[in-house]
Amino acid sequence: MSTSTPLADRLAAVQAAALAELGSAHDSAALELWRVAHLGRRTPLAEVMGGLGALAKDERAAAGQAANTVKRALEAALAEREAVIAARELSAALERERVDVTLPGRAPALGRLHPISQTIAQCVDILRGMGFQVTQTPEVELDYYNFEALNIPAWHPARDMQDTVYVQHPSVVLRTQTTAYQGRVMTTQQPPVRIIAPGRCYRAEAVDATHEWMFHQIDGLAVDVGFSLADLKGTLTAFAEQMFWPNIRTRFRCDYFPFVEPGVDFAISCYRCDPDNAEAGCAICHGSGWLEILGAGMVHPKVLRHVGYDPEKYTGFAWGMGVERIAMIKYGIEDIRLFYANDLRFLEQFA
């Protein structure tokens, strides 16, 4: 402390300078800087108070009282300025958030059904119109219903083709096909049976343009007296004409599936080129003129016998279609991965 300036004058100068500077603080950040500069540990006021020990004993008490008076005055001024700035900032914040109630309301953005959900709904609507009832069974399925009840014993090579994902080996799997519902349904009711089962399936597939590890299927089953392959063909042809376009050409060709006998693959004519004049470079059908959309067949007698049906009395037909495959053909999509990439530029095209 300078001995050439009286203590009272020094304190008055410190107070006046601090109060003058406080008037130029216009926000909370500036107030904090002012507090550190005038009420912190290294300030002119702290310097004055630190020199009180050098005063004579009889002067020390009065000097300390005068210094504390200045400190309290600065603290009170800071609190008053803080209240003013806080009120101003609150008013500005409220103004920014003010809602003009006279403006027209904003319509909320509406979601859309995923293209796969749309395709499932279309398929189910068509098949319901033919008299089929919708049923659903667990995605986590017993090995028995997923394989054994469908004439696929543990040694059968078809298990390797499906690359099964086991939840609890060897008895519980993520179902590899919605065909797993057949055993569950047929063991709980007697013919006539006319049901479809849409749902997700899972296989340990290598993902590429035409394969996904998770996909959707719609399986159909009809069991009654006198059903034949002609009934299956008529049902699938009627479905294709409503799902794709009228007067579509269809093809049945022999194929193998363990749970049907005989088995067929069902194909429709390419929408870009005619089967009779197929284009060798067609990217859709690869020059064949046909697009395979599902596998089907007459329910195997062993499957009927397994659930307690008399195969000498009852016959049935069944099919399983991949929903992604149907959607890819219907909308001309060449890569299945687009469905699950969550790219809004792609998904919003199906509004």
CB 275 within 8 A of CB 269: yes
Q: pLDDT tens across 154-192, in order?
A: 888 877 777 788 888 888 989 988 888 888 888 888 999
pLDDT at 276: 76
The residue with tokens 């088995």 is 263
In percent, the amount of the chain with pLDDT more than 70 equals: 95
Q: Which fold has domain 115-350?
A: BirA Bifunctional Protein; domain 2 (3.30.930)
pLDDT at 59: 67
Specify the pLDDT at position 332. Answer: 85
Q: Is pLDDT above 90 for 69?
A: no
What is the band of 314 on the pLDDT scale with cuts at 50, 70, 90? very high
- Mean pLDDT (the chain) is 85
Listed residue (199, 183, 206, 210) closest to 308, CA to CA: 183
Q: What is the pLDDT of residues 231-279, one digit of tens each?
A: 999 999 999 999 988 778 899 999 988 888 999 999 988 877 777 777 7
Q: Is the whole model's pTM more than 0.85, yes or no? A: no
Task: Assess contact for 28 and 93: CB atoms under 8 A.
Answer: no
Q: Where are the domains of the chain?
A: 7-96, 115-350
Q: Which residues pair with 298 in a beta bridge?
A: 317
Report the pLDDT value the prediction gives residue 289, as an integer from 0 to 100: 81
Three-state SS at 192 = coil
Residue 195 host element (H or E): strand 193-202
Identify the weakest region by mean pLDDT among 47-51, 133-137, 155-159, 293-297: 47-51
Query: Binning pLDDT at 50, 70 and 90, where does residue 41 land?
Result: confident
**pLDDT at residue number 241:** 92
pLDDT at 227 over 80: yes
**C-beta separation of 245 from 274 below 8 A:** no
Average pLDDT over residues 330-338: 89
Residue 137, φ and ψ in degrees, nearest 5: -130, 170
pLDDT band at residue 56, thresholds of 50, 70 and 90?
low
Q: pLDDT exceeding 90 applies to what percent of the chain?
A: 33
Which phi and psi (to 5°) does residue 298 adopt? -85, 135
- The pLDDT of residue 2 is above 50: no
In the predicted model, is pLDDT for residue 43 greater than 90?
no
